[in-house]
Amino acid sequence: MTPKEMITIGLAWFAAVLLWLRFSPRQWGHSWDAKGTAKQAVLIAGMYVAGLLYQVFVIGWLVPLGWGIFRLVRRQ
């Protein structure tokens, strides 16, 4: 991949994150409705996995953007 492609991917990812943060649902409290059941444990585990994926999604755009800028600067 060329540095310009990496920068484009990073910027597109960043735009997707901004749109997600702007239009995402704000209520994650639905898992507490099934209090004391196995369903609650599954929902809480799902929330932790979603939280991890959310962090990768929100911060992940820095990797292709940074790598593209690094390769672009290094090439010149």
pLDDT digits (tens, 9 = 90+) for 10-65: 888 888 888 877 776 665 555 555 566 677 777 777 778 888 888 888 888 888 88
| pLDDT for the residue 35 | 61
Number of domains the chain contains = 1
Is residue 56 situated within a structural domain? yes
| pLDDT for the residue 32 | 52
CB 20 within 8 A of CB 57: yes
> How many residues comprise the chain?
76
Residue-by-residue DSSP string for 15-74: HHHHHHHHHS----GGGGGGTTSHHHHHHHHHHHHHHHHHHHHHHHTHHHHHHHHHHHHH
Is residue 28 situated within a structural domain? no
Give the structural domain span for 49.
Answer: 3-22+34-75
Is residue 27 situated within a structural domain? no
Is residue 46 situated within a structural domain? yes
Is residue 29 situated within a structural domain? no
Is residue 61 situated within a structural domain? yes
In the numeric block, which tokens belong to residue 18?
């901004």
